[in-house]
Amino acid sequence: MNISEVFDAAIDIEKRLSNLYYKLSNLFRDNSEVYNFWIKIADHEKSHCETLTLSKGCQSWDHSSAKKKNRTSVDVTDISALQLLNAMIKDFERILKKEMVSLQDALDMLLKIENSEINHIYDRLVRIYGFQFQQKPEESHRSVYEHMKIIKAFAKKYYRGNIPQIQVESAPSDISSKAGKITEITPDMSYGFIEGGDGERYMFLPEDISAGTWDNAEVNKSVQFSVVNLPWGARAKDIKIS
């Protein structure tokens, strides 16, 4: 399985997980809290699918940047995990076609899936080509961190089974201020990249600029910026354009 096929497998899994969670939401329409929970995490999976699709697309237009970075490898363990998860989801899809499931059964399915390697594989895949697709700050609930946090809180309230609770990674945290320069601007899609003194590239959006404006953002402009660590990588914040 080559890297393109690994992307395709992961994208397919995220898409099917979204559909699976939407179907589960329909089983619990009489309880608004439970219904909204399944809708929310189904939306998360849909967002993950879109992010992987964009990241895969970088293979065709960002090769030169990718070659400068140490690519995160996807190994046999990742492939095996995707194959096992595919089989697990097929089993859950078959069950949902044939019978009604209780909330406890649904949470059993959910925790088995979220305790798998899918989120770690997602994290590695979106880093491979150096393209970090970021949600706007007001949409940060779609991050892997928020996804896991919401599931853990809901399971703690409702789950009575024996499957271990999922482990939630630390919240995104700020790190020290950096100096660098803008290396790429994509006006039509409103994002750009900054290269720090460490040689790393950090994506930024117009709302990440705190001194200056998006109109001032030009290639080779010097900047000061902070970095926030997100579950899938680092992003430039609080950007001050010289």
Structure confidence by residue, pLDDT tens digits, 108-132: 999 999 888 887 788 777 766 544 4
- Which pLDDT does position 122 carry in this prediction? 80
User: What is the number of structural domains in the chain?
Assistant: 2
**Together in a domain, 207 and 87:** no
**Together in a domain, 151 and 182:** no
CATH number at residue 221: 2.40.50.140
| pLDDT at position 12 over 70 | yes
Q: What percent of the chain has pLDDT over 90?
A: 38
Q: Hey, what are 61's tokens?
A: 């237009």
Range of the structural domain that residue 146 is part of? 3-158
Q: Is residue 120 part of a domain?
A: yes
**Together in a domain, 64 and 36:** yes
Confidence of residue 141 (pLDDT cuts 50, 70, 90): very low
**Together in a domain, 152 and 197:** no
Which of 98, 132, 158 marks a domain boundary?
A: 158
CA torsion through residues 77, 82, 86, 88, sign = positive
**Together in a domain, 90 and 188:** no
- Which pLDDT does position 231 carry in this prediction? 53
Model pLDDT for residues 174-226, shown as the tens digit of each residue: 445 789 999 999 876 678 899 998 888 888 888 889 888 888 899 999 999 98
Model pLDDT for residues 56-106, shown as the tens digit of each residue: 776 555 544 444 444 444 566 678 889 999 999 999 999 999 888 999 999
- Which pLDDT does position 99 carry in this prediction? 83
- Which pLDDT does position 214 carry in this prediction? 87
CATH number at residue 96: 1.20.1260.10
